[in-house]
Amino acid sequence: MIDLLPAQTERWQKVESVVRGHFLRTGFKEIRTPLLESTNLFSRSIGEYTDVVGKEMYSFCDRGDRSCTLRPEGTASVVRSVLEHGLLSQGPQRFWYGGPMFRYERPQNGRQRQFHQIGVECFGIDSPLVDVDIISIAWDIFKDLGIVDLELQLNSLGTEEDMKNYKSLLVGWLEDRFDHLDIDSQRRLKSNPLRILDSKNSNTQMLLEDSPSLLESLSSESIERFQYIQNTLKSLEIPFVLNTKLVRGLDYYCHTAFEIVSKQLGSQSTLCGGGRYDRLIQQLQGPPTPAIGWAMGMERLMILLEDLIRPVSNPEVYVISRGDKAKRQALIVSRLIRHKNISVEIDYSQSAFSKQFKKASKISARWAIVIGEDEIKNNYYRLKKLQSANNIKGEEEINVEFSDLNNLIDILRD
Ligand code: HAM
């Protein structure tokens, strides 16, 4: 779990504001759910035999002896909330969320135990156009942030029936080759055979090259649906590649499954993942409701944006003063200026003016307000425009009476 220091939080805020803009324009409303949920919400939705539920959850008993879990993802919590508040009776719903998630994974670059997701969930629309719409939103966010070299990988898992057929086909095929599988995949053959498809073991991957393809088990309706989605993506000029081994790590998916990956992220290459989950709401005792969503990992996004976003939150005004009365006046004027929505930083040091000026230039303030003995005696502020770090003397110097706040604000806004 990592701390985010100001140099990072400023960049995060910039990204968050770009993302918020997209959600405003696409009609997604923000939902905030608790970090802590009842453990069985996740085991019932994500799947008991997934890695997330089987070995990565932060679960504990609270003082009332209830098993609680720090949320490992957002989808289950959003579904719980939507059901609890009866929102599905109000027609299709589109939500976005952001915040920390927790998984006890082996930490490495792009993988933490506390990480942050921004995600969307869309309920009540079966049309395959929505699948393309929500993929395009993620795609456009990344483009808008200036990220290049992304790959959209697409697959269809079909219906529950399609998946059942495929599972038995795959299990039969793998059982014939049991001895060639790595230990982890041998274990998964019983519990979660589809996950063997994205095994990281290179021998297993080589073996799987000839395995039956999921697409071959799809019904004609599922194939038609998948084809329609591909054609629509093409007409939106969103490039994609088919990845028939993409099954995702959570059990609730059906039909569309997708990931947006970047080679620049190394082994943790998935920046965004999602898909359709038409069965989940019913599984959690809700009415049958089609649903689809995705989540992106903020930390991975920030790795890609490291060189693209520079923090720029320097104060516009730096107040320089010497002497007790001047220091107090510095505080008074700073507060008045802040009330007018202008950012101000105060130098509290007793350093010489020259040193305080240097600091003002270093943080790239636009103006310095100087208050010394003379200024206190004559009731005025001395304003200096600081052009750049190389020009610490500045060009303009203007005196403004203490009482003439309007004039002071006009000058600072100029
Ligand atoms: P997920 O693929 O488990 O999907 O996670 C989505 C994204 O969260 C990943 O692509 C990755 O960027 C980020 N992520 C996951 N684990 C970590 C970690 N340990 N450290 C850093 N980043 C991580 C879900 O969570 C689904 N709920 C997505 C979804 C929403 N499907 C439908 N709606």
CB 321 within 8 A of CB 370: yes
Q: What is the 209 CA–ligand 1 centroid distance (Å)? A: 26
For ligand 1, mutation pick of 56, 58, 115 (most atoms within 8 Å of CB): 115
Nearest CA to ligand 1 atom 20: 111
For residue 397, what pLDDT is reported?
Answer: 86
Tokens representing 405 are: 């706040």
Give the residue-averaged pLDDT of 183-200.
88
Could you give the maximum distance between any two Cα atoms of the chain, in Å?
94
pLDDT level of residue 313 (50, 70, 90 thresholds): confident
Q: Is the pTM of this model over 0.85?
A: yes
Q: What is the 297 CA–ligand 1 centroid distance (Å)? A: 6
Among 279, 199, 210, which Cα is nearest to 246's? 199
Nearest CA to ligand 1 atom 33: 293
Please report which helix (H) or strand (E) contains residue 232, including its range. helix 220-235
pLDDT level of residue 396 (50, 70, 90 thresholds): confident
**Residue 17 class from Cβ within 10 Å (0-12 exposed, 13-18 middle, 19+ buried)?**
exposed
For ligand 1, mutation pick of 254, 259, 270, 279 (most atoms within 8 Å of CB): 270
Handedness of CA 47, 83, 70, 297 (dihedral sign): positive
For residue 190, what pLDDT is reported?
Answer: 86
Which of 78-92, 144-158, 186-200, 359-373 is the least confident region? 186-200
pLDDT at 146 > cutoff 80: yes
Length of the chain: 414
233-252 pLDDT tens trace: 999 999 999 999 998 889 89
337-348 pLDDT tens trace: 999 999 999 999
Among 231, 221, 286, which Cα is nearest to 254's? 221
CB 90 within 8 A of CB 252: no
pLDDT at 141 > cutoff 90: yes
Query: How high is the mean pLDDT of the chain?
Result: 93
For ligand 1, mutation pick of 50, 52, 73, 96 (most atoms within 8 Å of CB): 73
Which 3 state secondary structure label does DSSP give 329? helix
CA 203 to chain centroid = 34
Q: What is the 382 CA–ligand 1 centroid distance (Å)? A: 54
Q: What is the 160 CA–ligand 1 centroid distance (Å)? A: 23
Give the residue-averaged pLDDT of 203-219.
91
For residue 389, what pLDDT is reported?
Answer: 47
Give the residue with greater pLDDT, 355 vs 6: 355
Q: What is the 273 CA–ligand 1 centroid distance (Å)? A: 6
% of the chain beyond a pLDDT of 70: 97
87-128 pLDDT tens trace: 999 999 999 999 999 999 999 999 999 999 999 999 999 999
Residue 72 CA: nearest ligand 1 atom is 25
Q: What is the 116 CA–ligand 1 centroid distance (Å)? A: 9
Residue 110 CA: nearest ligand 1 atom is 21
Nearest CA to ligand 1 atom 8: 297
Among 233, 386, 219, 221, which Cα is nearest to 319's? 386
Pocket (CB within 6 angstroms of ligand 1): 73-75, 103, 105, 110-112, 115, 117, 119, 121, 249-250, 270-275, 277, 293-297, 299-300
Nearest CA to ligand 1 atom 2: 273
Nearest CA to ligand 1 atom 29: 294
Distance from C-alpha of 147 to C-alpha of 175, rounded to nearest angstrom: 42
For residue 311, what pLDDT is reported?
Answer: 60
% of the chain beyond a pLDDT of 90: 82
pLDDT at 150 > cutoff 80: yes
Nearest CA to ligand 1 atom 30: 294
Q: What is the 105 CA–ligand 1 centroid distance (Å)? A: 12
Give the residue-averaged pLDDT of 168-179.
93
For residue 393, what pLDDT is reported?
Answer: 52
**Residue 135 class from Cβ within 10 Å (0-12 exposed, 13-18 middle, 19+ buried)?**
buried
Q: What is the 73 CA–ligand 1 centroid distance (Å)? A: 7
Nearest CA to ligand 1 atom 31: 274
Q: What is the CA radius of gyration of the chain?
A: 28
Please report which helix (H) or strand (E) contains residue 68, including its range. strand 67-70
